[in-house]
Amino acid sequence: MTNVQSLRCKECGRDYPQEPIYVCDFCFGPLEVNYDYDAIAKNISRESIQDGPLTIWRYDELLPASRDNAVNIGAGMTPLLKADNLGKELGLNNLWIKNDAANPTHSFKDRVVSVAATKAVEFDFDTIACASTGNLAGATAAHGAKAGMNTMVFIPADLERGKILGAAIFGSVVLVNGNYDDVNRLCSELGDDRRWAFVNINMRPYYAEGSKSIGYELAEQLGWHAPKHVVVPVASGSLFTKVYKGLQEFAQLGLIDSADTKMHIAQPFGCSPVAKAFIEGQAYPKPVVPDTIAKSLAIGSPADGMYSVSIANKTGGSGTIVPESEIAECMKLLAETEGIFTETAGGVVISALRRLAREGVIGPDEETVALITGTGLKTLEAIADSVKTVTIDPTVRSFDEVVTGAPVS
Amino acid sequence: MPFRRVKFTFKTEKIQSPVIYELGHKFDVVTNIRRADIDSENGWVILEIEGTVDEIERGLEWVREQGSDVSSLDGDILAG
């Protein structure tokens, strides 16, 4: 039993039944899950949430599937950590890090795929599929394994070996000879042609809802209120729009007093169509060809870019374009101050945060959350030139000479 | 008949060009506009194109050669 009323077109408002569809037949607008909020309001409370499992499924009243049949490997309820050391560096006294690297396959994608896989089982698909260069591959492969489904994970054949193996351990990975455009086109054709649950094609309306759980968790973990600022790495823009939606739903249901959070877009210089549109005052992003070390943000044609720009404007947020040269530096800054090893997207977020603090967009005492979406262990090549080590002989003398610099007696 | 749902994004210098009209005349495809937003500087059009697979691909390649971006309605599927 869920509280879903329909799928609703975000553009023209037409309603559709709950099926594996994702686009409006009339205006080609994206479909989004539409809930019966009156029914939800009768059943949900802070207490009922707190009595739930320590996963995204504690919020199942606000998800399109029930926890009773969830494909669950433990996504969600990741740590929200007070970041006093980093805050001191940046001049921010009320800074928090939401560490989604702590998810089962080490990224926020576990949230969305857990919901997509659950719906795929519900719709009686026997195959779950995705196209990915990293985090989504691992999340889809792992949840497909847990669900006992056939899994098709499409990866460009020239991807780093570690990323391929990280997904292949869970089951089927298909390496595609071709560039990003080739993989996109192939998957689009397969999505039309096969009866598969493609997590970010025909499962997209349900898949995307999983990201709302970050908004819910922020509010709950902060003691049932919304933060003043959230800085989010933006790729397709789906995460950005859904964190916002999660906070708004909690306010609408009276679980928090208000949700006046300012939503900040962070993108790397080599792929910044959404931040650029915001900065230039354009309503929608112009597609770009990505060229960034932040591979998880390399979406040149962002499906939810237009909606992200709108939300950043509506909330008094911002868009920041981060120099590529600062990404690894800021990964290192977060690691050295807070003990968190983020993926490159996190480096983008911390660099954007630093700029927003310097420019006074974020005030020193304003409650701010920086969203870390995945672990740096999958992108070691990004920091290979930034991290220094020392080598010694296995003697105390060598240790003193090289490490402590103490004079040798 | 095969069809593709696509989004054209036009550069400022192409706003005045009848790209979709010419696409329908130069190639054996039927175009069906569903949503658009165009002003004097920027513009995008979401449309359905129907024809043989080869003719659709040839037509879309021609649109790209005219300097307009052609993307899938779904945006990029390949995710991080």
pLDDT, tens digit, 9 for 90 and up, residues A251-297: 999 999 999 999 999 999 999 999 999 999 999 999 998 999 998 99
Q: Touching check for A295 and chain B: CB below 8 Å?
A: yes
Q: Which of B37, B46, B75 sits opposite A299 (nearest CB)?
A: B75
Confidence of residue A159 (pLDDT cuts 50, 70, 90): confident
Q: Touching check for B13 and chain A: CB below 8 Å?
A: no
Confidence of residue A349 (pLDDT cuts 50, 70, 90): very high
pLDDT, tens digit, 9 for 90 and up, residues A303-317: 999 999 999 999 999
Q: Touching check for A180 and chain B: CB below 8 Å?
A: yes
Nearest chain A alpha carbon to B9:
A286
Whether pLDDT at A352 is above 80: yes
How does the average pLDDT of chain A come out, rounded? Answer: 95
With an 8 Å Cβ cutoff, are A201 and B35 in contact? no
Whether pLDDT at A408 is above 70: no
Chain B hits for A297, CB-CB cut-off 8 Å, are: 80
Chain B hits for A133, CB-CB cut-off 8 Å, are: 78-80
Nearest chain B alpha carbon to A378:
B80
Chain B hits for A239, CB-CB cut-off 8 Å, are: none
Tokens of B54: 């080869």
| Nearest to A150, CA basis, from A112, A117, A123, A175 | A117
CATH classification of the domain holding B23: 3.30.70.260
Please, which residues 27-66 of chain B have a Cβ atom closer than 8 Å to chain A? 34-35, 37, 42, 44, 46, 48
In a domain, B78, yes or no: no
In a domain, B45, yes or no: yes
Looking at residue A335, its pLDDT comes to: 98
Q: Touching check for A308 and chain B: CB below 8 Å?
A: no
Q: Which of A198, A282, A296 sits opposite B42 (nearest CB)?
A: A282
With an 8 Å Cβ cutoff, are A131 and B74 in contact? no
> CA of B26, closest CA in chain A: separation in Å?
24
| Nearest to A373, CA basis, from A131, A141, A111 | A111
> Taking a C-beta distance cutoff of 8 angstroms, is the pair B62, B23 a contact?
yes
d(CA A302, CA A148): 31
Pairing of strands B3-10, B43-50: antiparallel
Nearest chain B alpha carbon to A176:
B78
In a domain, B41, yes or no: yes
d(CA A278, CA A282): 6
d(CA A133, CA A164): 8
Chain B hits for A303, CB-CB cut-off 8 Å, are: 74-76
> CA of A299, closest CA in chain B: separation in Å?
6
pLDDT, tens digit, 9 for 90 and up, residues A48-70: 999 999 999 999 999 999 999 99
Q: Touching check for A301 and chain B: CB below 8 Å?
A: yes
Q: Which of A156, A282, A301 sits opposite B71 (nearest CB)?
A: A301
> Taking a C-beta distance cutoff of 8 angstroms, is the pair B21, B46 a contact?
no
Whether pLDDT at A244 is above 60: yes
What is the three-state SS of chain A?
CCCEEEEEECCCCCEECCCCCCECCCCCCEEEEEECHHHHHHHCCHHHHHCCCCCHHHHHHHCCCCHHHCCCCCCCCCCEEECHHHHHHHCCCCEEEEEHHHCCCCECHHHHHHHHHHHHHHCCCCEEEEEECCHHHHHHHHHHHHHCCEEEEEEECCCCHHHHHHHHCCCCEEEECCCHHHHHHHHHHHHHHCCCEECCCCCHHHHHHCCHHHHHHHHHHCCCCCCCEEEEECCCCHHHHHHHHHHHHHHHCCCCCCCCCEEEEEEECCCCHHHHHHHCCCCCCCCCCCCCCCHHHCCCCCCCHHHHHHHHHHCCCEEEEECCHHHHHHHHHHHHHHCCCECHHHHHHHHHHHHHHHCCCCCCCCCEEEEECEEHHHCHHHHCCCCCCCCCCCCHHHHHHHHHCCCCC
pLDDT, tens digit, 9 for 90 and up, residues A246-259: 999 999 999 999 99
With an 8 Å Cβ cutoff, are A136 and B80 in contact? yes
| Higher-pLDDT residue of B17, A366 | A366
With an 8 Å Cβ cutoff, are B77 and A297 in contact? no
Looking at residue A407, its pLDDT comes to: 64
pLDDT, tens digit, 9 for 90 and up, residues A66-96: 999 999 999 999 999 999 999 999 999 999 9
If you write DSSP's letter for every residue of B30-80 in order, what string do you get? EEEEEEEEE-SS-EEEEEEEES-HHHHHHHHHHHHHTT-EEEETT----B-
Chain A hits for B37, CB-CB cut-off 8 Å, are: 283-284
pLDDT, tens digit, 9 for 90 and up, residues A374-406: 999 988 889 988 888 999 999 999 999 999 887
Q: Which of B73, B76, B80 sits opposite A296 (nearest CB)?
A: B80
Per-residue pLDDT tens, chain B, 80 aa: give them. 888 899 999 888 888 889 999 999 999 999 999 999 988 888 899 999 999 999 999 999 999 999 999 988 877 788 88
Whether pLDDT at A409 is above 60: no
Q: Which of B7, B35, B48 sits opposite A11 (nearest CB)?
A: B35
* Domain containing residue B7: 3-72
Confidence of residue A158 (pLDDT cuts 50, 70, 90): confident
Average pLDDT, stretch A210-228?
98
Average pLDDT, stretch A129-154?
94
Tokens of A345: 């997207």
Specify the number of domains making up chain B. Answer: 1
With an 8 Å Cβ cutoff, are A303 and B74 in contact? yes
What single-letter DSSP state applies at residue B20? H
With an 8 Å Cβ cutoff, are B78 and A26 in contact? no
With an 8 Å Cβ cutoff, are A287 and B48 in contact? no
With an 8 Å Cβ cutoff, are B78 and A132 in contact? yes
Which domains, and CATH codes, for chain A? 4-64+109-207 (3.40.50.1100), 80-105+211-383 (3.40.50.1100)
Q: Which of B71, B77, B80 sits opposite A298 (nearest CB)?
A: B80
In a domain, B66, yes or no: yes
d(CA A375, CA A45): 33
Whether pLDDT at A117 is above 60: yes
> Taking a C-beta distance cutoff of 8 angstroms, is the pair A154, A130 a contact?
yes
Q: How many residues does chain B have?
A: 80
For the beta sheet containing A127-131, the strands, ordered from the edge strand earlier in sequence to the opposite edge, are A173-176, A150-156, A127-131, A197-198
Q: Touching check for A296 and chain B: CB below 8 Å?
A: yes
Nearest chain A alpha carbon to B47:
A28
The type of residue at A2 is T
How far is CA A256 from each of CA A124, A209, A252, A260, B76, rounded to the nearest angstrom? 37, 20, 8, 11, 35
> Taking a C-beta distance cutoff of 8 angstroms, is the pair B31, B3 a contact?
no
In a domain, B77, yes or no: no
Q: Touching check for A183 and chain B: CB below 8 Å?
A: yes
Q: Touching check for A277 and chain B: CB below 8 Å?
A: no
Nearest chain A alpha carbon to B34:
A27
> Taking a C-beta distance cutoff of 8 angstroms, is the pair A138, A107 a contact?
yes
